Chain A
Amino acid sequence: MNEPSIKPQIASKAQLTSLLDNDVLARLERMRLKPRRRLTNRSQGEHLAGKGGSSIEFSDYRDYAPGDDMRYVDWNVFSRLHRPYVKQYQYEEEMHVTILIDASSSMQYEDKFLRAKQMAAAFGLMGLLNVERVSVYSCNHTGQRPVFLPPCTGRANMSRLFEFLERLEAGGDFPVEQAVEAVLARHRGRGIAVVLSDFLTFGDLTRPLNLLYSAGLEVCAVQILGPSEIDPELTGDLRFVDSETGHTLDVSSVGDLLGIYHQHRLSLEEELAQHCRSRSGRFLAISARDSLSWVLFDLLRRRGWVQ
């Protein structure tokens, strides 16, 4: 599902953002995030969070109790059963969509960072248009505070979101596990946390996932890898240089080790997926060269991330 080019188009007057085409934006307007858990804020929103709400979405019946609003009594049922039942509707509460973009140097390769920004724009747009609170964090260098877009909501902040994302630059050595902690230090509210990263880190990923879970955020981890990371074509004796730390690693007969490499890459995916599942979260691994339309409108739908 690769597309020939995913280079960002120059934003013109006709284009709202260089990250996404207008037709993609149009299709995204009709989509909304579909979290697994009821992780919403108590403030009024448009997110259906549970029974007893005042939305138009029917949820259940219950026996009438004195003091209930007579407007919710289902008179059709009363006429057949001669007993009053009250219709219940789902709550519409506000959900905080937190988007964390890994902007370390490792994301500079093979349009991984661009794809991360596009995915962030898509998730953010869905959040804004569904009157959710959307905040975006980008972590570059260790020790520095993350660059972030303060929580905002509504269509009015759409351009603000796009401008923020368009200005983001990759580079730095901020490990994703530390980035999560840095984000949670500033973050308030429950909802979902979309983590866009390659998850290539030496650190332990269970702690940040636990922190997200305990913070009331449903983890939606998206691993974005480049084609050369998914299927490297290397042989001979090489000295690998880490783009973030500058550390080197001498590897002989690389071609002979590609099998083991693939095992470890798939093992990392499986491990991440397992960690997310065990914390009621979700995990998705994509290639930076996968078609954006396919990812947004096919893969995410099939995986139940959006509706």
Chain B
Amino acid sequence: MSFPGFASLWAAWLFLIAAPLIVFYFLKLKRPRYEIPSLALWRAVINDQRVNSPFQRFKRNVLLLLQLLLLCLLVLAAMQPFIVGGPARGDYVPVLIDCSASMAATEKPGGPTRLDVAKERIGELIDALLPNQRMSLIAFSSTARRLTDFTDNKRILHDALDKIEVVDVPSRIEDALQMTEALVRTTTMGIDSVLMFTDGNLPEQVDFELSFQINYQQLPPAGKNIGITALNARRSSGGFWDIFVRVEASAAGQSAADVELVQNDTAAGTQHVVLDAKEAERLVFRVESEQEAQIELRLRPSDDDSLASDNVAFLTLPRVRLLTVFVPPDLASYRHALRAIPSVELLPQEGADAKPTLPTYDLLITDRKEDLEIEAAAALYVGIVPNDLTSLVKVNEGSADVVDWQRGSTLLQHVQLAEIQSTDEPHSTEGTADGDYEQLGYEILAFGRRGPLILSKRVGARVGFYLLFHSDRSTLPYRVAFPIMVSNLVEVALQQSSLSEVRGESTGVLPPLPLDRSRAYTVRGPEGFELGVASDENALVSGIPAERVGTYRFYDGGDVRKQVGVGLLDARESGLTATDEIRFPEDLAVSAAVEDVRTDKPLWPTFAILGFCVLLVEWWYFHRRPGGVPTQ
């Protein structure tokens, strides 16, 4: 048993009050007057009773003893004693609280969520805060929010704690750690360790150089769960779409559910799935849709399901149409390659005017600088140096070949660029490094000997590829790689235009959405979410937080201009797997604590209550009628 400590030891000086208390007690002791015939006998009694020991006097003064006891209890309460619960804690205690989607999981139906359990524990910590301790609450999910500064105001801490809610997004710990590190650096007083309350549904490997200790408090595991972890659709022939749904079960046990597909608020199919622990299954639905359609997948668990947010997912099927591709007639090689690809409408058509007729295209392939103004979801600029790169790269006549290229990029997948020769020789100007291109937003896809050969840049929702050499002055059109590259380009355009494959959007931030240019909209979402936004000059609305599973609608006045449904769609969150050890760079690892945080238990409320009880007893004793005194 550890000896209790005192947070305000100076208050022990208050014990000196006992001296005047004793003095005043004997000076002002109120005794009931009782008249007797004569004091003769009692005086003899008192003379006989006054023995040498002065403590006899105290022994018979119950009221004084009660007052001294009350004083002792109050002084002890003022000294703020506490029972040391564990190793000494620092004066400043940052507390990280996971509020990601998995924290809404319950151990049993109707039971408390993981976040509720965490709140309860943190609430106890707040109540046990000693006067010299400050606490700061940081909630994290995919991002981190500092809820309070370092404070010892328990009301503020409790209020902030009560306001924490689960958001339907996966957890990322890096933001929280960076924020905590900033706190550690800015706080002058020492921070021994950082408390982190989470269900352990975190990445096992975190790319963060840890400079402080983490007390990893893992919450009890939740019950079994089954949820939708992936949703996408691929267009098939005949105006049909194949809907792919991935359903996964958590490690807690076997689960079963009915998965219902709803197309434009009409049930379009149901499948039953039974999964063992940690098992996943891919379900395929086929729906027919020529026009844009809203797809909603609803998962109805047959038995217990600890997490509800992953039981629904959304998908928007685009209208079925041909990919519009604009290629000037001069680029015969590209037009030739494109003619072999179905579902492509090649523009301008043979014999038509070479000028663009549509306001926007799905794909643009051009070698004319004036076509830079044409709007397209994807574009390939051949032999054109972007205006913002003219100071970095020059194209001379010579001989250029490809040294290396990014084989994983969407444009160059399965494309063999080795032994490609070009008479255009792009080269970086003197002093230009690869980082200079990246700073301007370009990604180098292919490297020549003296500089980049192929670049890509994403501007808003659009992606552009730049062949710094003209393909007609190279051996590229004569290689097998050429039609593959064109095919990849079409795939990119299809994806950009969402014509062949669409994915269910997940929570976090809504993707940039094309709307009218420079116009204000109101976004309304689940659980009363409402936000005013405005589209930019590119007619895009972006950066809209979507932390709740559901449908977000864009209102222009009273009309719904667009709607997007988002689901959790995260295998780790639905799996409810707990990471017992988080690894950091330099072989650092943080393991889940074996035992709960043992708090320093303050004793002053106990002493205060005891003091109050003694006060009541003393009050009763002071006012009671002395026994034996006649009622006359």
B274 interface contact, C-beta 8 A: no
**Main secondary structure on A side of the interface with B:** mixed
Q: Are B57 and A261 in contact, CB atoms less than 8 angstroms apart?
A: no
B36 interface contact, C-beta 8 A: yes
In the assembly, what is the distance between CA of A105 and CA of B34, in Å? 15
Per-residue CB contact flags for chain A residues 187-204 toward chain B (1 = under 8 Å, else 0) read 000000000001011100
Residues of A within 8 A of B35 (CB): 240-243
A234 interface contact, C-beta 8 A: yes
Residues of A within 8 A of B24 (CB): none
Q: Which of A6-14, A157-165, A251-259, A297-305 contacts B (4 or more CB under 8 A)?
A: A251-259
Residues of A within 8 A of B630 (CB): 228
B46 interface contact, C-beta 8 A: yes
Q: Are A255 and B37 in contact, CB atoms less than 8 angstroms apart?
A: no
Nearest CB in chain A: distance from B629 CB, A = 7
Per-residue CB contact flags for chain A residues 154-177 toward chain B (1 = under 8 Å, else 0) read 000000000000000000000000
Pick the residue among B32, B43, B57 that contacts A249 (CB under 8 A): B43
Q: Are A237 and B49 in contact, CB atoms less than 8 angstroms apart?
A: no
Pick the residue among B37, B46, B627, B629 that contacts A229 (CB under 8 A): B37
Residues of B within 8 A of A202 (CB): 40, 43
**Main secondary structure on B side of the interface with A:** mixed
Which interface class (under 10, 10 to 19, 20 to 34, 35 or more) fits B? 20 to 34
Known A-B contacts A200-B41, A257-B49; A241 and B60 likewise in contact (beta carbons under 8 Å) = no
Nearest CB in chain A: distance from B202 CB, A = 69
Q: Are A244 and B38 in contact, CB atoms less than 8 angstroms apart?
A: yes
Q: Are A242 and B45 in contact, CB atoms less than 8 angstroms apart?
A: no
Residues of A within 8 A of B57 (CB): 252
Nearest CB in chain B: distance from A147 CB, A = 20
Nearest CB in chain B: distance from A173 CB, A = 10
In the assembly, what is the distance between CA of A232 and CA of B628, in Å? 8
Q: Are B40 and A235 in contact, CB atoms less than 8 angstroms apart?
A: no
In the assembly, what is the distance between CA of A245 and CA of B44, in Å? 16
Pick the residue among A201, A226, A253, A260 that contacts B48 (CB under 8 A): A260
In the assembly, what is the distance between CA of A201 and CA of B38, in Å? 7
Closest A-chain residue to B43, C-beta based?
A249
Residue among A201, A240, A241, A242 with the most chain B CB within 10 A?
Answer: A240
Q: Are B33 and A261 in contact, CB atoms less than 8 angstroms apart?
A: no
In the assembly, what is the distance between CA of A198 and CA of B40, in Å? 11
A238 interface contact, C-beta 8 A: yes
Q: Are A200 and B37 in contact, CB atoms less than 8 angstroms apart?
A: yes
Q: Are A251 and B627 in contact, CB atoms less than 8 angstroms apart?
A: no
A247 interface contact, C-beta 8 A: yes
Q: Are A247 and B39 in contact, CB atoms less than 8 angstroms apart?
A: yes
Q: Are A240 and B34 in contact, CB atoms less than 8 angstroms apart?
A: yes
Q: Are B40 and A201 in contact, CB atoms less than 8 angstroms apart?
A: yes
Pick the residue among A228, A235, A249, A253 that contacts B42 (CB under 8 A): A249
Residues of A within 8 A of B45 (CB): 251, 257, 260-261, 264
B63 interface contact, C-beta 8 A: yes
Q: Are B38 and A252 in contact, CB atoms less than 8 angstroms apart?
A: no
Q: Are B42 and A261 in contact, CB atoms less than 8 angstroms apart?
A: yes
Residues of A within 8 A of B32 (CB): 236-239
Residues of B within 8 A of A249 (CB): 39, 42-43, 46
In the assembly, what is the distance between CA of A164 and CA of B238, in Å? 143
In the assembly, what is the distance between CA of A256 and CA of B57, in Å? 12
A107 interface contact, C-beta 8 A: yes
Nearest CB in chain B: distance from A174 CB, A = 12
Quick one: which of A238-283 are within 8 Å of B by CB? 238-245, 247-257, 260-261, 264-265, 268
Per-residue CB contact flags for chain B residues 261-301 toward chain A (1 = under 8 Å, else 0) read 00000000000000000000000000000000000000000
A75 interface contact, C-beta 8 A: no
Q: Are B627 and A241 in contact, CB atoms less than 8 angstroms apart?
A: no
Residues of B within 8 A of A64 (CB): none
B408 interface contact, C-beta 8 A: no
In the assembly, what is the distance between CA of A238 and CA of B630, in Å? 12
Q: Are A238 and B40 in contact, CB atoms less than 8 angstroms apart?
A: no
B31 interface contact, C-beta 8 A: yes
Quick one: which of B512-532 are within 8 Å of A by CB? none
Per-residue CB contact flags for chain B residues 56-91 toward chain A (1 = under 8 Å, else 0) read 010111110000000000000000000000000000
Residues of B within 8 A of A257 (CB): 45-46, 49
Residues of A within 8 A of B626 (CB): 234-238, 254
Quick one: which of B561-597 are within 8 Å of A by CB? none
In the assembly, what is the distance between CA of A188 and CA of B344, in Å? 159
Residues of A within 8 A of B37 (CB): 105-109, 112, 198, 200, 226, 229, 243-244
A69 interface contact, C-beta 8 A: no
Q: Are A237 and B63 in contact, CB atoms less than 8 angstroms apart?
A: yes
Q: Are A261 and B31 in contact, CB atoms less than 8 angstroms apart?
A: no
Closest A-chain residue to B39, C-beta based?
A242
Quick one: which of A179-218 are within 8 Å of B by CB? 198, 200-202
Closest A-chain residue to B48, C-beta based?
A260
Pick the residue among A228, A229, A238 that contacts B31 (CB under 8 A): A238
In the assembly, what is the distance between CA of A237 and CA of B34, in Å? 10
Q: Are B46 and A241 in contact, CB atoms less than 8 angstroms apart?
A: no
Q: Are A255 and B40 in contact, CB atoms less than 8 angstroms apart?
A: no
Q: Are A241 and B33 in contact, CB atoms less than 8 angstroms apart?
A: yes
A233 interface contact, C-beta 8 A: yes
Pick the residue among B38, B40, B42, B62 that contacts A251 (CB under 8 A): B42
Closest A-chain residue to B34, C-beta based?
A238
In the assembly, what is the distance between CA of A226 and CA of B629, in Å? 15
Q: Are B38 and A200 in contact, CB atoms less than 8 angstroms apart?
A: yes
Q: Are B44 and A239 in contact, CB atoms less than 8 angstroms apart?
A: no
Residues of A within 8 A of B480 (CB): none
Known A-B contacts A234-B629, A235-B626; A240 and B42 likewise in contact (beta carbons under 8 Å) = yes
Closest A-chain residue to B630, C-beta based?
A228
Residue among B59, B61, B63, B629 with the most chain A CB within 10 A?
Answer: B629
Nearest CB in chain B: distance from A135 CB, A = 26
Closest A-chain residue to B624, C-beta based?
A236
Closest A-chain residue to B58, C-beta based?
A252
Residues of B within 8 A of A226 (CB): 37
B29 interface contact, C-beta 8 A: yes
Per-residue CB contact flags for chain B residues 607-632 toward chain A (1 = under 8 Å, else 0) read 00000000000000000001111100
Pick the residue among A198, A252, A260 that contacts B61 (CB under 8 A): A252
Residues of B within 8 A of A268 (CB): 41
Nearest CB in chain A: distance from B355 CB, A = 115
Cross-chain pairs A/B with CB under 8 angstroms, 25 sampled: A105-B37, A106-B37, A198-B38, A200-B40, A202-B40, A202-B43, A232-B628, A233-B627, A234-B34, A236-B626, A237-B61, A237-B63, A237-B626, A238-B31, A238-B32, A240-B34, A240-B35, A242-B38, A243-B38, A245-B39, A247-B39, A248-B33, A252-B57, A252-B60, A257-B49
Chain B residues engaging chain A, CB cutoff 8 angstroms: 29, 31-46, 48-49, 57, 59-63, 626-630
Query: Nearest 10 A-B pairs (CB), nearest first?
Result: A236-B626, A106-B37, A200-B38, A253-B60, A235-B627, A234-B628, A239-B31, A233-B628, A252-B60, A242-B39
* New contact pairs (8) apart from A107-B37, A109-B37, CB-CB < 8 Å: A200-B41, A228-B630, A240-B35, A242-B38, A244-B37, A252-B61, A255-B628, A261-B45
